[in-house]
Amino acid sequence: MRDPVDTAAAMTYHPFHHTNRPGALPLPAFLSAAQPSFFPALTFPEVGPLSAPQLEPEQLGAAASEAALRRLGLPVHPSTVKSPKEREGPDDEPKVTLESKNLWNEFHNMGTEMVITKSGRRMFPPFKVRVEGLDLTAKYILLMDIVAVDDSRYKFHSSRWTVAGKADPEMPKRMYIHPDSPSKGGQWMSKPVAFHKLKLTNNISDKHGFTILNSMHKYQPRFHIVRANDIMKLPYSTFRTYVFPETEFIAVTAYQNEKITQLKIDNNPFAKGFRDTGNGRREKRNKQLSVSLLNENQSKAIRDSADSDDSSEQPGPSDPFCSPGEILSSPLMSTSACQGGDSDLDLQCEDVMAGCSRPEQTSSLKSEVILWKGSAGSKSADNQDTPKDRKLFRASDGISSTEMDSSKKSLSEIRDGIMPMMLQTQSSGHLQTLDFSGAHSRQFLTVEAPLMFGPRRLTMKPETFPNIGTGHLLSSLSGTNDLGAGGLSPQSITSPSPFMSHLSQHMLTSQGISLSPFGGMLSYPYHYMAAPGAITSALPSSSATSLLSRNRYLHSTRPLMRFSPYQIPASFTSSLLTSRSAGNSNLLTDLCKSGSTESHLLYDNHSYKKAKAKQKTAPYKATVKGSTDELQNINKPAGRLDKPFPPQ
């Protein structure tokens, strides 16, 4: 990974222009072979840039590879039917590069852990990407979300992570809209796009709009690009989803692997106080400094250089701003970052550096990227391993990308028991004017756009999705866990069904703004929040109700089925579009009240936890079937919601 050769040839994913790296390693046979065989009869009326998986030689470390292989339900090419004119053109084949790849890989190689706390915790290797290939003047909305990787719960035993049963139910995932959205392509491309404000929490009652994760579960951050000049248009826009396998992590409430702890301490500027140099951090440590001595030292030096690095906007407190890990090729440290070629300092990294928005970030261009290419649809095994069973297309120097268009009609064909997931949105909307006034003297934003939600169709093959999925898209599904190949029949918003409950739900709290299709402002977790006094939103008992996102637990009396993170593009999601911005809740709540609102205490923290605990002991299905009472308890508040959506 620190191979000079790697740094020489920057590989970023680009749909059409894949660079073949000279020193590229051969792609595992099963992967290469799998590619063609898995898409024999899939129909791609309009083969999008991502429909035909582009395989790149793998470059990731062993750990990364393993983890990668374990992940299935990869990106799905929606193969939505788009007329040529509707396509976005050649300028819309954005290339996305993960920043701090080296750092991410270091973590990934030993099993990244992300602490989740009640008050919310940032991700440490910060999730930051560099985007290229956007239309300079077109506006885009960039988002990210974090979805469950599988339906397993993990435990850290004897220095290794092992599966420890079925996953706990996932809370609906929020789509985090980058605060700068919408912005012009030129702006987005001018510098790496960071998602620092996205916080992770394990507090299911979180009112900040943080991403709620389950401890000891594995997650995968995803990045989305949507060409839209208005957040209100998100639901009908094409989502281009990028997944960087090395950003996978296991959520924990306390670090399990000491090596991870050490890596965090060594790299996170905010944890300087725990570094060996003197103060704090008593015992432990010492031994785990040998993970890969050379690498460690190198990267350490590199990271520390961030201290003296000034290039970032406003590095702030000692540099917490500059993710040290991405500062890998500062001109002054090119010797360590770019070991290849030139002995002349001045000539190093020239090609790579040129055009980079930040010298420090150049490194990512030099580091390899794993390309995960998802095909249309994938069959999901119960758990990890047996990669062949899955339509996982993986390659190095790339990322997986999915494109879906929820605003256009889409059709799909089912072949070989595999079918691309499609969502058809036949709008019949809602015109509303939302005046977003952030609290705290924030900037004002007035949006006036039609918000349309209409009949939608979802066609899919259930097995395609692991039991634990995004949850933020279709957080709950009615029906059995093994539907026929024909999948669920199309659901229309006019015929409310739990199945569609989350499809149209919309919630934006980016920039402290929450909006709902109902014309009111909603406090962040309105659809499952149990916070006293929190207005949870309007629930017109008519068709509009189907637009409301509901927690999957609402339907726990039936087997839960969730989409795999890799299979459900965020575009369908729409569910929770949030952005951390505490402090505005009052205003939002008030605004919400002004609309047609009702409080829905879906369930409380306590009962939820109880259910969760229960689940840990028994397999998921067992829980669903055996302890319905418990879940019923959780879903009590859902009763109301269930009315318009009879358990089918």
- Which residues inside 547-586 make contact with a second copy, applying CB under 8 A? 579-581
Q: Residue 254 binds what, of a second copy, DNA, none (CB under 5 to 8 Å, by partner type)?
A: DNA
CB 289 within 8 A of CB 280: no
Q: What residues contact 510, with CB distance under 8 A and at least 6 apart?
A: 176, 177, 178, 179, 181, 231, 577, 578, 579, 581
Best CA proximity match to 371, nearest among 401, 337, 402, 336: 401
Closest to a second copy by CB, 184 vs 616, is 184
Furthest-apart CA pair in the chain: how many Å? 72
442 near DNA (CB under 7 A): no
112 near DNA (CB under 7 A): no
Best CA proximity match to 23, nearest among 1, 8, 5: 5
Q: Residue 117 binds what, of DNA, a second copy, none (CB under 5 to 8 Å, by partner type)?
A: DNA
CB of 441 to a second copy, least distance (A): 4
CB of 307 to DNA, least distance (A): 9
Among 158, 286, 290, 314, binds a second copy (CB under 8 A): 314
Closest to DNA by CB, 258 vs 416, is 258
Closest to DNA by CB, 128 vs 139, is 128
CB 569 within 8 A of CB 76: yes
Q: What is the C-alpha separation between 176 and 559, in angstroms, rounded?
A: 28
Contact string (CB under 8 A) for a second copy, positions 347-386, x = contact: ---x--xxxxxxxx-x------------------------
Window contacting DNA (CB under 7 A); options: 4-12, 91-99, 115-123, 489-497: 115-123
Among 57, 111, 120, 182, binds a second copy (CB under 8 A): 182
Q: Locate tokens 């006019």: which residue? A: 494
- Quick one: tokens of 425? 């949105």
Window contacting DNA (CB under 7 A); options: 35-43, 276-284, 425-433, 441-449: 276-284
Contact string (CB under 7 A) for DNA, positions 287-326, x = contact: -----------------------------xxx-x------
190 near a second copy (CB under 8 A): yes
144 near DNA (CB under 7 A): no
Q: What pairs with residue 578 in β-bridges?
A: 176
Q: What is the C-alpha separation between 565 and 473, in angstroms, rounded?
A: 9
Q: What is the C-alpha separation between 123 and 227, in angstroms, rounded?
A: 26
Q: What is the C-alpha separation between 634 and 648, in angstroms, rounded?
A: 19
Window contacting a second copy (CB under 8 A); options: 135-143, 151-159, 200-208, 379-387: 135-143
285 near a second copy (CB under 8 A): no
Window contacting DNA (CB under 7 A); options: 95-103, 239-247, 261-269, 434-442: 261-269
CB 598 within 8 A of CB 537: yes
617 near DNA (CB under 7 A): yes
Burial label for 343, CB within 10 Å (0-12, 13-18, 19+), is exposed
340 near a second copy (CB under 8 A): no
Q: Residue 271 binds what, of a second copy, DNA, none (CB under 5 to 8 Å, by partner type)?
A: DNA
Among 37, 137, 159, 253, binds DNA (CB under 7 A): 253
516 near a second copy (CB under 8 A): no
Among 133, 172, 496, 512, binds a second copy (CB under 8 A): 512
Window contacting a second copy (CB under 8 A); options: 107-115, 242-250, 306-314, 375-383: 306-314
- Quick one: tokens of 128? 């930051």
Q: Residue 388 binds what, of a second copy, DNA, none (CB under 5 to 8 Å, by partner type)?
A: none
CB 210 within 8 A of CB 526: no
CB of 508 to DNA, least distance (A): 21
Q: Residue 321 binds what, of DNA, a second copy, none (CB under 5 to 8 Å, by partner type)?
A: a second copy
- Quick one: tokens of 629? 């009472």
333 near a second copy (CB under 8 A): yes
Distance (Å) of CA 97 to CA 58, 94, 257 = 16, 10, 28
Best CA proximity match to 448, nearest among 515, 368, 349, 538: 515
Q: What is the C-alpha separation between 428 and 452, in angstroms, rounded?
A: 6
576-578 and 174-177 beta bridge pairing:
parallel
3-state secondary structure of 135: coil
Q: Residue 160 binds what, of a second copy, DNA, none (CB under 5 to 8 Å, by partner type)?
A: none
506 near a second copy (CB under 8 A): no
320 near a second copy (CB under 8 A): yes
Q: Locate tokens 């999730």: which residue? A: 127
124 near DNA (CB under 7 A): yes
Closest to DNA by CB, 321 vs 416, is 321
Three-state DSSP string of 182-240: CEEHHHHHHCCEECCCCCEECCCCCCCCCEECCCCEEEEEEEEEEECCCHHHHHHCEEE
Distance (Å) of CA 366 to CA 340, 348, 351 = 11, 12, 10
304 near a second copy (CB under 8 A): yes
Q: What is the C-alpha separation between 31 and 39, in angstroms, rounded?
A: 13
Q: Residue 429 binds what, of a second copy, DNA, none (CB under 5 to 8 Å, by partner type)?
A: none
Closest to a second copy by CB, 1 vs 63, is 1
290 near a second copy (CB under 8 A): no
Closest to DNA by CB, 255 vs 341, is 255
End-to-end CA distance of the chain: 52
158 near a second copy (CB under 8 A): no
- Which residues inside 446-475 make contact with a second copy, applying CB under 8 A? 446-447
Helix 101-109 to helix 293-308 angle (10° resolution) is 140
- Torsion sign, CA atoms 31, 32, 33, 34: positive
Helices (H), 290-416: 293-308, 334-337, 350-353, 362-366
83 near a second copy (CB under 8 A): no
CB 106 within 8 A of CB 247: no
622 near DNA (CB under 7 A): no
409 near a second copy (CB under 8 A): no
Closest to DNA by CB, 273 vs 417, is 273
Q: Residue 468 binds what, of DNA, a second copy, none (CB under 5 to 8 Å, by partner type)?
A: none
Q: Residue 128 binds what, of a second copy, DNA, none (CB under 5 to 8 Å, by partner type)?
A: a second copy
Residue ranges in contact with DNA by CB under 7 A: 115, 117-118, 121-122, 124, 155-157, 164, 202-203, 215-216, 252-256, 261, 264-265, 268, 270-274, 278-284, 316-318, 320, 609-610, 613, 616-617
